[in-house]
Amino acid sequence: MARHRLTALVAVVSLVPLGMSVSPLSGASAVPSLSTAMATASAPTAVGEPARKAKYSATIRITEHGIPHITAENFGSLGYGSGYAAATSSICTLADTLITGRGLRSRWFGPKKMYDDQVSMNGSNLQIDALVTDLHNRHVVEKLLADPKAGPGAEARAIVRGYTAGINRYLLDHGRRGVTDPACHGAAYLRPDLRPIDLWYGVYLANLLASTGVFVKEIVDAAPASIDDPGLPDPGLPVAADIDRDKLLAGLGRDPDSGFGSNATAIGGNESSTGKGMLLGNPHFPWRGRYHFTQQHLTIPGRYDVAGASLIGSPVVNIGWNSNVAWSHTVSTAYRFTPYEYHTVPGTLTYLTASGVHELEHRTVKITVRKKGGLGTVTEDLYRTPQGYVIDAPAQFMGWSPISLWAIRDANAEQLRTIDTFLDMGKATNVRDLLRRQDAGGGMPWVNTTAADRNGDVLYADHSVVPNVPTALAQQCMTPVGLVLNQVAGLPGLDGTLADTTCKWKTDGDAGRPGVFGGKNLPDVVRRDWVMNANDSYWLPNPKSPIEGYANLIGCERCERTMRTRMVSQYVIDRLADGRKETPASLRGHEHENRLRAAEVMRQHGDLDTVCDATGETQACAVLRKWDGTSNISSRGTHIFEEFVARLPTVPLDLVDTVWGTPFSAADPLNTPRDLNTDNPLVVQAMADAIAYLRSKHIPFDATWGSLQVAGDRGAPPIPLGGGTGDSVGNANALASRHPVQNAEKFRPITYGSSHIQAISFLSGGRVDARTILTYGQSEDPTSPWSVDQTRMFSKKRWVDFAWTEAQIRRQLVRSFVLTG
């Protein structure tokens, strides 16, 4: 432990402001109050100028693994400490996020370079800047800030002001050349000139992740139909049965092959050994970029005490716990937008509505771009209807043709309540209070919530921001193409002619603002046994209580579950068999069991071996037969199974699934489909192709999984990792390789998936057992010892014993200081 603390002390020096004294480790156990600190960093005062009272004051205590515990007397100061700590661990990504929110990517990085947020928003810097600049020109965020219903409250404004001041303070203290991360060391854009409005635009763009953000290229490149670009993928009306569903879903921001998702399981008092609630949450997010997490603990004594993880640029805890309730999030199946189709007058920029002919709003934006020899200006054109931006997306059957065009109305583009929502959830006293506060906030952008409380109640809810389009309204208003979109992807394309009348989004009496569903029309359940979600729809949080009767736009009912959903549920079902209870150790142990539900199902009756034997590949089949059926780092044969599943035939929309002998049944959703179809030559061919592929890559059939699957985020050594593919293979510890930047020569370098994992158990006497792991480490700076320390722990199936109480913080304390300014 002493050696570990010495390593941590070396790292914390970079966090301490310049000119600040560092006390020896013998003083590390002394925890300062707000009025007394081991060391204080203050804003400079000019000679002869009377001392002024600091606007902000926050105590920052760093515990093992670089986790900051921030204490302040108000939300402004709390944000000040949070911003400083976030800049310390992630200044390069934080700066990049704020540059994006300012619409200055082309100015600093050049217009042709590509931007990818690793989730949905991707395009050239010029395309990103064109959209963001138009948002600025329209003063979208400024108008929302002035809106008493759709805009933030006083506490959210205060914490954002403090957060940006804290980032500025970090840059003032260190200067751009004091930044040690090689990704942005010395960069000219590292300037202490951030404003709260910059962060608000960053938050706003995050809200658009599953809606407008998906269509950046299609918005910026939208143009009237021409002979060369008629706006149609193929002549004629599309037929649902002929459409590649996976390709269409990918174009709508729902790529089935994306690693973006999450698991969450909550165990209630009736099935826990403690008689109280327990939670295991594991968001599957990128390991780099603006959607990766850092950990923090935020405290206002006597008023506010919450810990967990925050996305880059978030001053509040997004996934976490307090003394009485813990929660996690999983990406919801609900759509955040609806497309409207308008009839146009050929050769003009006009379209038809119930009130007559209207002209499109033609917007011109000027973007400053970096070019050889200096800076220049590029002009882009965008178009809007009152509902939203016009898109030109022929691949999604929403092209700008000579006779029609499409625009999207985005529910998350009409709110700026996300910070309020997460901030207020941190005050919750139980799961029902958590949901009440979430509804009052009205800004849960695109995720479900799974939660557990000290009383032993557990919650599943999808009370996210969803357009108020009941199924009856959708059926009444869908155009012919809109009907096909709905049949294939569950997205109704509505009649833009009536967008302001009979096809306008409805408003619920209990909704916080017009156009979205209120809580009474959104799915939720509170139970005492258990609930879960793994990115399938709301329908089955527990097999004993299916949720039905909600709008199709939110998700499907009585529909097939992924193998990952089946695995997450099966962990609990197996544990509770024969009258056993879930314990804190057994629940968190599920994270690293690394079972593969698809393999368990396919091995029934020896079906998997039968398929492999049919290929004649005796060596590979011998390995597969001896395989332990998991994705542990020592497992041999995991890669054969992974490659086999990846090559199984997909099921066309109108055909029967030929992979399975027993099809899906809503009466037995966690056990169907099953019975691998050993007689299907396409199934056998998938196995043969998988084996041939591995042979072509010179991958030994008996290679250990940990020799093939390794960390692939920036600066990481090839640390072996357990886990693997989620939905299709059925691995709850879902990991994926997407555009690796490190260890690319390895078979599967990981850049995506299991991220901030938390196992929270409420114990007697007001105690909380909080175990966490941030799989890629607290610091994104590869020179920091807190960059890969938790990755090594994750590899070894170890947990961080998160310092929650004052006594725990004292035991793990590395350094503390008071930051004022």
Spot the catalytic one: 89, 262, 328, 464: 262
Vertex 675: Cα angle to 669 and 677 (nearest 5): 130
> Is the Cα torsion angle 418, 523, 536, 555 positive or negative in sign?
negative
From first CA to last CA, the distance across the chain in angstroms is 34
Distance CA 163, CA 184 (A): 20
**Strand-strand pairing, 404-410 and 337-343:** antiparallel
In 3D space, the residue among 74, 66, 159, 305 whose CA is nearest the CA of residue 806 turns out to be: 305
Q: Has 21 been annotated as catalytic?
A: no
Contact 540, 562 (CB under 8 A): no
- Work out the angle between the directed axes of helices 125-137 and 75-102 (0-180°, nearest 10): 120
> Is the Cα torsion angle 503, 507, 508, 513 positive or negative in sign?
positive
Vertex 773: Cα angle to 769 and 778 (nearest 5): 125
What lies within 8 Å, CB to CB, of 349 at 6+ separation is 224, 359, 360, 362, 383
Contact 803, 25 (CB under 8 A): no
**Radius of gyration of the chain from its Cα atoms, rounded to whole angstroms:** 27
> Is the Cα torsion angle 558, 560, 565, 570 positive or negative in sign?
positive
Vertex 223: Cα angle to 219 and 225 (nearest 5): 135
3-class secondary-structure state, position 61: strand
Copy the structure tokens of residue 15: 């966090």
In 3D space, the residue among 594, 659, 670, 587 whose CA is nearest the CA of residue 629 turns out to be: 594
573: phi then psi, degrees, rounded to nearest 5: -55, -45
Copy the structure tokens of residue 449: 């919530």
Contact 100, 107 (CB under 8 A): no
Distance CA 284, CA 259 (A): 7
CB atoms within 10 A of CB 728: 16
Q: Known catalytic residues?
A: 262
